[in-house]
Amino acid sequence: MPIGLREDVAYIMLKKIDETDGQGMHPVTFTESDFAGRSLSESDILGHLDYLNQKQYIEAEFSGNAYANQEDVPDAANPKEFDARIANTYGAPDGPLPHLIEFKRAKLTEKGRKMLEKMEANPPQSLREGPVVPIATKDMPFLEKVMYKGNLGDIFDARDITEVVFRTMRDMMTTEASDRVASELHEPAEPTKDKALQNEIADLWKDTNPLVAFLSRIRPPLIIKSDTFLFRIQQEASLQPGVEPETVVKAVFSATKDELSEERIREIAGFLPDKIRQLWEQA
């Protein structure tokens, strides 16, 4: 499950990596003073760094195990070993001092630089106030919003679930209404070099399976009850144990509404059955 990522902490990390940018992979060190007054544990900081690295906002080379256990803690009596690895006492109370967390090397990716530019244009309010707040998902690419809000561990799961939710929505809509939605969904679903993910959101809305996309255009609108809607998501998306269909449906709804005009949002609501419409309005 994704960590409760904080916007202020992510901003501080991205900014410091950018400020120490040596035009490529370069050493970056975070100290207690970087996060003063923010009540962060070492595991909180490492969790944020690991998230930014995994989601390709940064490219980081951790020295040793980023979530070090006792066996991974360097010997403080050996300066060379200490310098070459992350000074981290998570799970190791007799390890080195917890005031320093260090990358071996790191740099901002293009994706991370764009995120930082957006955050610099509208700095997090929490930088002044200091409360714990979720990261501003409006700045995330579409599929990452679905993954983050749906508590999913994989971007491909987010794509597959989105297709199933979109297909079920389209089944209840007229072709004309569906086309109007598609006309507003031209942002990339996920900026990536992975061809399996290189689609506009509209491609997911129309369905990447050509036969399914064709059938959805010629079939008249269906009447689908709320329980049937959720059952289809549960079965067709092959949800992992512990992942509730309501959660992923609401995650897809939230990410989709961020891309649509108010007119389209109201139009879609008119096709949805009672409980599903409530999820749409709450998203």
Residue spans of the domains in the chain: they are: 7-137, 143-282
Q: What's the mean pLDDT in 13-31?
A: 77
Q: Is the dihedral of CA 89, 94, 96, 100 positive or negative?
A: positive
**β-strands 29-31, 100-102: how paired?**
antiparallel
Cα 32 to chain center, whole Å?
A: 26
Q: What's the mean pLDDT in 231-250?
A: 91
More confident residue, 77 or 27: 27
CA-based nearest residue to 145, from 132, 159, 133: 159
Residue 25: predicted pLDDT: 81
CA-based nearest residue to 141, from 177, 191, 104: 191
Residue 80: predicted pLDDT: 39
Q: Where are the alpha helices (DSSP H) in 122-190?
A: 126-129, 142-149, 155-171, 175-182
Q: For the chain, what is the mean pLDDT?
A: 76
Residue 94: predicted pLDDT: 40
Residue 116: predicted pLDDT: 86
Residue 32: predicted pLDDT: 65
The full DSSP string for 20-89 is T--SSSB--EEEGGGGTTS---HHHHHHHHHHHHHTTSEEEE-SS-TT--GGGS--TT-HHHHHHS----
Residue 4: predicted pLDDT: 60
Q: What's the mean pLDDT in 239-253?
A: 91
Question: 0.85 cut: is pTM over it?
Answer: no
Residue 53: predicted pLDDT: 86
Cα 130 to chain center, whole Å?
A: 22
Q: What's the mean pLDDT in 11-20?
A: 84
Residue 103: predicted pLDDT: 61
Q: What's the mean pLDDT in 227-243?
A: 91
Reported confidence tier of residue 43, pLDDT bands at 50, 70, 90: confident
CATH of 143-282, one of 3.40.50.300, 2.60.40.10, 1.10.490.110, 2.40.50.140: 1.10.490.110
More confident residue, 252 or 202: 252
Percent of the chain with pLDDT over 90: 27
For 107-148, write each residue's pLDDT tens digit: 888 888 888 888 887 776 666 554 444 445 555 688 888 888
Residue 117: predicted pLDDT: 85
Q: Which residues of 151-184 are buried (b: 16+ CB within 10 A; e: fewer)?
A: ebeebebbbbbbbbbbbbbbbbbeeebbebbbeb
Three-class secondary structure of residue 184 per DSSP: coil
Query: Is the pLDDT confidence value at 217 over 60?
Result: yes
Residue 270: predicted pLDDT: 96
For 47-106, write each residue's pLDDT tens digit: 888 888 888 888 888 654 444 443 444 443 443 333 333 333 333 434 433 445 556 778
Reported confidence tier of residue 188, pLDDT bands at 50, 70, 90: low
Residue 115: predicted pLDDT: 85
